Amino acid sequence: MEKMKDLAYYNGTVTRIADMMIPAGDRGFYFGDGIYEVAMVFHRKIFALEEHLDRMERSAAMVRIELPMVRREIGDLLQELADRVESDCQFLYWQITRGTAPRNHLFPAGTASNLYVYSKPWPGVEMSDDYRLVSVTDTRFLNCNIKTLNLLLNVLAAQTAKENGCQEAVFVRDGIVTEGSHSNVSMIKDGVFITHPADNLILPGVERRHMIAYCGELGIPVEERPFTLEELKGADEIIMSSTSHPSMRVREIDGVAVGMKDAATVEKLRKMYLYEVEKRGQ
């Protein structure tokens, strides 16, 4: 089997990413009517695949999209596609949309869902100690726990962060910090790991879940509870986490220096992540 520098898949067709053509009638195009997942490939194995498939199934069920094939077949296909890319370390993305049909708000009858996948080389794990945040008002809808394609307000927040010289935005809803535009936010205060509960106001991040598990192994107390922006600014450490950026250490919010007071605990969590990557790659 010939290896490819990068790869895209759409309903059985495989091309390079730049060559993939998707029908304009795909409901993801004009309604954002779909869900997506992102996973990392290390040592040619998809990291935390079962957890990503779990979230995929939950998201699809919440928006009433029928999967194009059973879960196991999707997992097998993703691994098969990752095996066809030259790089051992990859950024793997997939999305499922409700189908292809003439534009109509109602669900199309008798239309199969669409599966789009792409995988490309990735330079590897990034764990920065120089993350800066800007706070923005969270005006998104009330189902942020669905990993939906509807990310316009996240895009605007991320752009606001960039225009303010920051790497990420942190959403604040009614005085409570929820999450970042593309990551979860957690903090360490007096030796306790604190993160927003996995309710409908945040996406339940896979790496967020891993960090909670790491804390259990390390004997670090965990609190899943709401917290304010002022609490966040007073934390000993602030960590932004996502699948592609698992541990970004925050040093500034809204131009004010924050955190950076418990490097030892952050290092323990990072070592647990790197150990798990190597363990699953064996």
Q: For residue range 138-149, what is the model confidence (pLDDT) as tens digits?
A: 999 999 999 999
Cα gap 98→34, rounded to integer Å: 6
Last residue of a domain, one of 103, 121, 139: 121
pLDDT at 282 over 90: no
- Domain match, 174 and 52 both: no
pLDDT at 7 over 70: yes
What number is the average pLDDT over the span 87-101? 98
Summarised one tens digit per residue, pLDDT across range 254-267 is: 999 999 999 999 99
What's the Cα-to-Cα distance from 166 to each of 125, 138, 240, rounded to whole Å? 20, 17, 13
pLDDT at 221 over 70: yes
With respect to residue 38, please indicate whether it lies within any of the assigned structural domains: yes
pLDDT at 126 over 90: no
What's the Cα-to-Cα distance from 270 to each of 38, 54, 187, 266, rounded to whole Å? 20, 24, 14, 6
Last residue of a domain, one of 87, 121, 155: 121
Q: What is the pLDDT of residue 1?
A: 72
Query: CATH no. for residue 259?
Result: 3.20.10.10
- Domain match, 66 and 146 both: no
How many other CB atoms sit within 10 Å of the CB of residue 73? 11
- Domain match, 136 and 275 both: yes
Q: What are the tokens at 182?
A: 């593309």
- Domain match, 67 and 164 both: no
- Domain match, 195 and 274 both: yes
What number is the average pLDDT over the span 98-113? 97
pLDDT at 24 over 80: yes
**Position 279 confidence tier, pLDDT thresholds 50, 70, 90:** confident
Query: CATH no. for residue 21?
Result: 3.30.470.10
Structural domain span for residue 174: 131-281
Q: What is the pLDDT of residue 215?
A: 98
What number is the average pLDDT over the span 101-130? 95
What number is the average pLDDT over the span 121-129? 92
In this prediction the pTM is: 0.96
- Domain match, 172 and 204 both: yes
Domain count, the chain: 2
With respect to residue 94, please indicate whether it lies within any of the assigned structural domains: yes
Look up 279 and say whether it is catalytic: no
Q: What is the pLDDT of residue 167?
A: 98
Cα gap 141→163, rounded to integer Å: 24
pLDDT at 280 over 90: no
Angle at 129 between CA 264 and CA 224, to 5 degrees: 65
Cα gap 68→108, rounded to integer Å: 15
- Domain match, 182 and 267 both: yes
**Position 281 confidence tier, pLDDT thresholds 50, 70, 90:** low
What number is the average pLDDT over the span 271-280? 90
What number is the average pLDDT over the span 160-166? 98
With respect to residue 81, please indicate whether it lies within any of the assigned structural domains: yes
Place of tokens 């959403």: 171
Q: What is the pLDDT of residue 45?
A: 96
What number is the average pLDDT over the span 219-224? 98
What number is the average pLDDT over the span 159-173? 98
pLDDT at 208 over 80: yes
42 close to 281: Cβ distance less than 8 angstroms? yes
Q: Provide the CA 255 distance to its chain's centre, in angstroms.
A: 26
Residues 6+ apart with CB under 8 A from 204: 55, 145, 198
- Domain match, 75 and 139 both: no
**Position 125 confidence tier, pLDDT thresholds 50, 70, 90:** confident
**Position 47 confidence tier, pLDDT thresholds 50, 70, 90:** very high
pLDDT at 153 over 80: yes
Residue type, 147: K
Burial of 207 (0-12, 13-18, 19+ CB in 10 A): buried
Last residue of a domain, one of 121, 154, 180: 121
237 close to 261: Cβ distance less than 8 angstroms? yes
Choosing from 120, 147, 189, 233, the catalytic residue is: 147
Residue type, 71: R
- Domain match, 253 and 221 both: yes
With respect to residue 2, please indicate whether it lies within any of the assigned structural domains: no
What's the Cα-to-Cα distance from 187 to each of 33, 172, 237, rounded to whole Å? 33, 15, 5
